[in-house]
Structure 1
Amino acid sequence: MTRSLAPRSPRLAALALIAAAALAISGCSAASGGGGSAGSAGGEITVAGTYAIESLDPDSPTSGGATGTQLAAKAIFSRLVRPRSDGTLEGDLATAWKPDSTATQWTFTLRPDVKFSDGKPVTADDVVGSFKRFVELKSTNAANFTGYTMAATSPAEVVLTAPKPDAAVPYKLAVFFVMPGSLTGESPAWFQTPVGSGPFKVEKFDSSGTLVLVPNPGHYAGAPKAGRVTIRKMPELAARLTALRTGEVDLVSGIPDDQLAALQQDSNLKVETVPSTAVFTMWFNSGTPALKDAKVRRALWQAVDFATIIKRLYPQTGSLADAPVSPITLGHVPQEPVRYDPDAAKAALKDAGFDFSAKLRLQFANAEFRAFNQAIVSDLQKIGVQVDLLEKEQAVFTKDLLALNWDVNFQQLSNPTFDSANTLGRLYPCAAKRNGYCNPELDKLLAAAGASPDSDERVRLYGEASKIIWSDAVGMFPMAVKYAYAWNRRVTGVTPDPNGLPDFSGMQVSGS
């Protein structure tokens, strides 16, 4: 997953424009391609995924935020707006958008003559109905829109109303997908063969998690170039890489560092790593008595030699994080590094009355993160801190995460909106109840950052908020992540995505 991105200054300029006035978008999309259909000249592309796609419903409260579901949703459904790979926005169903003077109302002008894959027109009522369903199902991403409403003010316009000023609305909408407005509630049967207005439609979706996509010939920007895209679950790394080398699959992501050198030497493959929006994030449950004291949390962070662990496990795709959000996220402000000092850490824990006989529960999901977490446990044990390392199935992990049934929680936390409102603003207020931490001063800063129409001011405020999160050790933030992609050179049009969600609509097999 990976490729270097544009510097932040153009992005800040773009954000200022968004907050100031309407952004006119051309009628042509980056996804434009030839008139592909199944078996067309664009060829067939097979993608190997680490995880099964368990659902195609991006609004599902249980699986909507999963990487596989979001990957599929990008191909099948349209959004009002979508982020480019450099973090700036472009229109999808919307051709322009602008706030009122208080940034509590945002008006979106809709692209005309867009159709769903069944030939029916996409209307303003479909957008409004989809937003209502999105909010009512209370998926993880819907937490950005508590108390927000949307109305159709004309056949070509919708207005989103926020309960308070919100300058980040367009970026938050990067995770809102439009479906037929008549769809309500959770509808698993409907999502077996859903109807969308994205570049692809579903040919097959089976219980193994295999998804087969074919071009949507009625896509407003023209059908994508590939004649068919198959996304297969291949959880075993060795199997994925073997299939890539033999040509059984064409694109693989999530490649560990110890495998990159061999792939880079294969003349049939192209390998790229790109900065991502992801940060390894290890929350402490501040509601646990043993972790209530910020001095204890900071000491535990100081006891882990993250620089050495990253150098050993992630020499190409990892670097020490310097903030709770990644450098390509709006609101990133570097913080003072936490210096590894196990002796000072142990002394601080003793001074704070830490109970060394009690065990902390560190939970994570996915085997790819096992070695990293084992190394953390080892370092903590060196100063006498006992840890139960709990590797959980994704569904159990998510349930326990929300129930705060853990002491330390590991996640690779990405940000598909490229805006700190989606991470800092959503996950760290008292009302979020995500990590047992509550600080009214932090709440005020996050509210002010979310409301300000001035991008420089928002960065400043998010920087102040990050300083509190960092110094109070709400969690440990050890690593900024790069994504590694590898693909067969016969496939062209691959643009590595900083969220691990590549766009298939511009890809094709050369010579097909």
Structure 2
Amino acid sequence: MKKSTARAGILAVVAGVLMAASTFTAYGQDSTVRVAFGALPAVLDPFQAATPPYSIANRAIYSYVTQVSATPDGKVETTPGIAESWSQINPTTWEFKLRAGLAFSNGEPLDAAAVKASADYLLNPENAKGLLGALSMIAGVTVVDAATVRFETKTPDGIFPRRLAALAVVPPVAFMADPQKFMAAPIGSGPWMVEKWVPNESLTLVPNPDTVGAEPKSDRLEFRAIPEASGRIAALQSGGVDIAQGIPSDQVASLINDFNIVDKVEPGSWQMTIYQEAGPLNDKRVRQALNYAVDKELLLEAVMGGYGAVSQGQVVPEGVTGYCPDVKAYPYDPEKAKALLAEAGYAPGELTFDFQSPSGFVTNDRALAEATAAMLSEVGVNTNIKFLELSTFQDAYRNQSKRAPIFAWRLTTAPFMTADLSARWYLSGATTHPTGYSNPQFDQDYATWQSEGEEKGLAALCNGIALVREDAPTLFGLNLPVLYASNKNVTGFELGVEGDPRFEAVEVGN
């Protein structure tokens, strides 16, 4: 979209947004921080998901067994949360020592019993929680004493402490009395407490005096859902909000002089599944041809405005544990693509694939899909694009039989910031986002990495990732950007290692 067109679209919705934004107090009258998001969760359920919009609200309210942080040189590491230290007792047993004297805001002790109760609730399949798959390797949890808890895993897991960055801990008495009622007015040990909550619409938070982490510098934090990017930008420009999420990359240039732009490459990617057990996409040469046909550098510059990064022949970006620096992106080589298609027996124009893409909930998803389709057509591969709304897209995400041969999607490694989750999709018999792809050597390499740990087993993992890159069950795309804009008088606003905002240090000046 041209800047002038985008600007005109913004101005056209200002009148409507001003009414929606008028409920916000003009900044400078108190120490309230107001933030516009594209969406807010329907429930404040810490066990449902570890990605936005759930993660943004939940990490303000709850605290977690461990955390994932970045060192000054950008290396990702597991750091203390509720647990202050941990050790591996044997290949399948990890012991965690908890910080002493912790409590929830209702007075219940934040101890080993609370950790076990939270884990047991998540692991109970009858509760059908979304994060169960992410922690399904847990075989059992045992309370050793009030400050010590042990986790048994089903198989050796060298990166297990990192996984507990997804385990929020809730006060067991209040929570187990009525989980649904609890989630409507949750009690946690995070930096903020819920003052008012309107599902899908707004969330007002105030500082938690019993926080496990850093104490907020502001008196109040208000989240407001404004679905359209133009509406969020208009609210920012009018002074209705201090910070706006989800800024389209093609509109950064029009905002950068008057607002602060905060960006980060998210720990995941936009890519396309292209493997099929039968038909043209069962031929590795065809899959490789599609990878050579797409100019990822051009997508990055023309569609994303230079924000983000080219996916380097793997799902995770640099900085995520399990990134393989020697695995590189397929170069743009349309002649190589044509030659591979001819070698596989397909003349220009002979291949036509259905192509499904999300619409409106992944950054620039429609533009990325349309540009990719145009590039494929240049090498003689035709596509029929169908854009899917969220619910339909999620059905296809979970059920391979509902997917088109080319299926675009966005995945993230948050909150673990490790290649583990994305690598699982390539395992033989994978059940989470199955692709049908299978390579016994990759299975073996993955298992070696799992058992030996993050660093020691990296060589084995990267050997497997190189095999996946060669087999090309995926059309590797881009690592997308996270983009926020804030007023110039906002200080202390930053994005965490996974791309979620941190608000404890945020202040709004006069």
With normalisation by structure 1, the TM-score equals 0.84
From the superposition, tell whether residues 290 and 362 of structure 1 become closer, same or farther in structure 2 (CA, over 3 Å). Answer: farther
Counterpart position of 1:480: 479
| Mean Cα deviation higher: 304-313 or 283-292 | 283-292
Q: Note closer, same or farther for the CA distance 1:444–1:498 as it changes in structure 2 (3 Å cut).
A: same
Partner residue, 1:345: 337
Q: Secondary structure at the match of 1:423?
A: helix
Residue of structure 2 equivalent to 1:10: none
Counterpart-to-counterpart distance in 2, 1:186 and 1:436: 40
Tell me the residue number matched to 2:413.
415
Residues 1:105 and 2:93 aligned together: yes
Look up the match of 2:6.
none
**Change in CA separation of 1:226 and 1:322 when aligned onto 2, cut-off 3 Å:** same
Q: Quick one: distance in 1 between partners of 2:152 and 2:216? A: 34
Distance apart, 1:248 and its partner CA: 1.1
In 1, the alpha carbon distance for the partners of 2:98 and 2:29 equals 32
Query: Structure 2 CA distance, aligned partners of 1:507 and 1:178?
Result: 25
Task: Find the partner of 1:134 among 114, 122, 137.
Answer: 122
Q: Distance in 2 between matches of 1:437 and 1:221?
A: 43
Find the counterpart in structure 2 of residue 78 from structure 1: 63
- SS of the residue corresponding to residue 164 of structure 1 reads coil
> Does the 8 Å contact 2:43/2:199 carry over to 1?
no
Give the secondary-structure state (helix, strand or coil) at the position aligned to 1:431.
coil
Change in Cα spacing, 1:201 to 1:289, as seen in structure 2 (3 Å) is farther
* Contact persistence 2:354–2:386 (CA under 8 A): no
CA contact (8 A) 2:265 2:308 kept: no
CA change 1:361–1:48 in 2 (3 A) is same
State the Cα distance separating 1:129 from its structure 2 match.
1.4
Question: Which of the numbers 50, 54, 61 marks the counterpart of 1:69?
Answer: 54
Q: Secondary structure at the match of 1:327?
A: coil
How far is 1:197 from its partner?
A: 1.5
Once residues 41 and 175 of structure 1 are traced to their aligned partners in structure 2, the CA distance between those partners, rounded to angstroms, is 37
Which whole-Å CA distance do the structure 2 matches of 1:156 and 1:41 have between them? 44
Q: 1:124 aligns with which of 107, 112, 131?
A: 112
For the 8 Å contact 2:190–2:213, the answer to whether it is kept is no
Q: Does 1:427 align with 2:418?
A: no
Q: Which residue identity lines up with residue 164 of structure 1 in the other structure?
A: T
Q: Give the C-alpha shift of residue 93 in structure 1.
A: 0.9
Amino acid at match of 1:128: K
5 Å-filtered alignment, 1:197-216, equals 197-216=189-208
Alignment of 1:266-305 (within 5 A): 266=258, 269-287=259-277, 289-305=279-295
Instruction: Point out where structure 1 has 5 or more consecutive residues left out of the alignment.
Output: 1-38
Cα distance 1:42–1:107, how it changes in 2: closer, same or farther (>3 A)?
farther
Report the Cα distance in structure 2 between the residues aligned to 1:379 and 1:257, rounded to whole angstroms.
Answer: 21
Please state whether the residue corresponding to 1:219 is helix, strand or coil: coil
- CA displacement, residues 113-142 of structure 1 (integer Å, 9 cap, x when unaligned): 222222222231221111122223454543
**Bigger CA drift: 283-292 or 104-113?**
283-292
Q: 1:24 corresponds to which residue?
A: none
Q: How far apart are residue 198 of structure 1 and its match?
A: 1.1
1:227 matched to 2:223: no
> 2:244 is paired with a residue of what secondary structure?
strand
Q: CA deviation at 1:430?
A: 1.9
Tell me the residue number matched to 1:451.
451
Superposed displacement of residue 408, structure 1: 2.2
1:317 Cα shift?
0.8
Q: In structure 2, what is the Cα distance between the partners aligned to 1:250 and 1:157?
A: 42
Q: Once the 2 structures are TM-superposed, how far is the Cα of residue 449 of structure 1 from its aligned partner?
A: 0.5
Query: Structure 2 residue aligned with 1:356, among 342, 345, 350?
Result: 350
Q: Which runs of 5+ in 2 are unaligned?
A: 1-26
Give yes or no for the alignment of 1:154 onto 2:150: no
Distance 2:51 2:176 in 1: 21
Query: What CA distance in whole angstroms lies between the structure 2 residues aligned with 1:289 and 1:203?
Result: 56
- Identify the residue that residue 46 of structure 1 maps to in structure 2: 34
Q: CA offset at residue 156 of structure 1?
A: 0.8
Residue 310 of structure 1 corresponds to which residue in structure 2?
300
- Percent identity (aligned): 26
> Partners in 2 of 1:379 and 1:147 — Cα distance?
41
SS at match of 2:168: coil
Shift in Å, 1:153: 1.1
Question: Secondary structure in 1 aligned to 2:480?
Answer: strand
Q: Comparing 342-351 with 290-299, which one deviates more in the overlay?
A: 342-351
Distance 1:143 1:109 in 2: 25
The alignment covers a number of residue pairs equal to: 465
**Match for residue 437 of structure 2?**
437
Q: Work out the CA distance in 2 between the residues paired with 1:88 and 1:209.
A: 34
For the pair 1:332 / 2:323, whether they are aligned, the reply is yes
1:396 aligns with 2:384: no
Q: State how far apart, in whole Å, the 2-side matches of 1:501 and 1:488 are.
A: 18
Contact 1:323 1:332 in 2 (8 A): no
User: What residue identity is the alignment partner of 1:330?
Assistant: T
- Contact 2:245 2:484 survives alignment (8 Å): yes
- Residue 144 of structure 2 aligns with an amino acid whose one-letter code is T
* CA drift at 1:288: 5.4
TM superposition score normalised by structure 2: 0.84
1:368-407 matches, within 5 Å, as: 368-404=364-400, 405-406=402-403, 407=405
For the 8 Å contact 1:65–1:139, the answer to whether it is kept is no
CA RMSD of aligned residues (A): 2.6
Counterpart-to-counterpart distance in 2, 1:288 and 1:126:
49
**Structure 1 residue 223, shift from structure 2 partner:** 4.0
- CA shift for structure 1 position 207: 3.5
Instruction: Tell me if structure 2 keeps the 8 A contact 1:124–1:158.
Output: yes
